[in-house]
Homo-oligomer: A and B are copies of this chain.
Amino acid sequence: MYMNYKEALEALRRLDREYRHLTHVLALLQWDQETYLPKDGVEDRSEQLAMLGGMAHGHLIDPGVGKYLREAGVTEENPAGDERLSGEDRDFLRVFSREYYKAVKLPPDFVRYAAKTEGLSQAAWAEARQKSDFSFFMPHLSAVVEIAKKRAQYWGYGDRAYDGLLDIYEPGMTEGDVRAIFDPLKIRLKELAERVTAKGPRPSVFSGFAYDSGAQHQFSLKLMEYLGFDTKRGRLDTSAHPFTTTLGACDVRITTRYLAENPLSGIFSTIHETGHAFYELGMSGSHRGTCLGDGCSMGIHESQSRLWENVIGRGTAFWTGLFPLLRSYFPDQLGSISLDAFIREANRVALSPIRIEADELTYSLHIIVRFDLERRLFSGGLSVEQLPHAWNTLMKELLNVEVKNDKEGVLQDVHWSMGSFGYFPSYALGNLYGLQLWKKLCADIPQVDDHIAQGKFDTIREWLNQAVYRWGRRLRPEELLTRATGQGLKADSFMEYLEKKYTKIYEL
Partner of A250 from B24, B32, B40, B248 at Cβ < 8 Å? B40
Least distance between A392 CB and chain B CB atoms (Å): 40
Residue pair A44, B235 in contact (C-beta under 8 Å)? no
> A231's closest neighbor in chain B, by CB?
B38
Q: Copies of this chain, how many?
A: 2
Q: Does A242 sit within 8 A of B, measured CB to CB?
A: no
Least distance between A306 CB and chain B CB atoms (Å): 25
Contacts of A237 in B (CB 8 A): 36
Q: A25-B25, A28-B29, A29-B28 are in contact. Are A251 and B40 (CB under 8 A)?
A: yes
Partner of A29 from B25, B43, B51, B289 at Cβ < 8 Å? B25
Q: Does A13 sit within 8 A of B, measured CB to CB?
A: no
Residue pair B248, A44 in contact (C-beta under 8 Å)? yes
List A residues 235-281 near B (Cβ within 8 Å). 235, 237, 247-251, 253
Contacts of A55 in B (CB 8 A): 55
> A22's closest neighbor in chain B, by CB?
B51
Residue pair A32, B32 in contact (C-beta under 8 Å)? yes
Q: Does A186 sit within 8 A of B, measured CB to CB?
A: no
> A36's closest neighbor in chain B, by CB?
B235
Contacts of A38 in B (CB 8 A): 231-235, 250-251, 253
Q: Does A39 sit within 8 A of B, measured CB to CB?
A: yes
Interface residues of A (CB under 8 A from B): 18, 21-22, 24-25, 28-29, 32, 36-41, 43-45, 47-48, 51-52, 55, 231-235, 237, 247-251, 253, 289
CA distance A32 to B232 in the complex (A): 15
Residue pair A25, B44 in contact (C-beta under 8 Å)? no
Contacts of A248 in B (CB 8 A): 41, 43-45, 48
Contacts of A25 in B (CB 8 A): 25, 29, 48, 52
Least distance between A297 CB and chain B CB atoms (Å): 25
* Additional A-B contact list (13), CB under 8 Å, known A21-B48, A38-B231: A18-B51, A21-B47, A32-B32, A37-B251, A38-B233, A38-B250, A39-B232, A41-B247, A41-B248, A43-B250, A44-B247, A44-B249, A45-B248
Residue pair B40, A24 in contact (C-beta under 8 Å)? no
Instruction: List 11 A-B residue pairs with CB atoms under 8 Å apart, sorted by A's residue number.
Output: A21-B51, A25-B25, A25-B52, A28-B32, A37-B251, A38-B231, A38-B251, A40-B233, A44-B248, A44-B249, A44-B289
Contacts of A18 in B (CB 8 A): 51
CA distance A38 to B39 in the complex (A): 25
CA distance A55 to B18 in the complex (A): 11
> A235's closest neighbor in chain B, by CB?
B38
CA distance A283 to B277 in the complex (A): 42
CA distance A249 to B29 in the complex (A): 15
CA distance A37 to B231 in the complex (A): 10
Contacts of A250 in B (CB 8 A): 38, 40-41, 43-44
CA distance A237 to B52 in the complex (A): 26
Contacts of A28 in B (CB 8 A): 28-29, 32
Contacts of A289 in B (CB 8 A): 44
Contacts of A37 in B (CB 8 A): 251
> A237's closest neighbor in chain B, by CB?
B36
Most buried by B among A37, A38, A51, A232: A38
Residue pair A251, B29 in contact (C-beta under 8 Å)? no
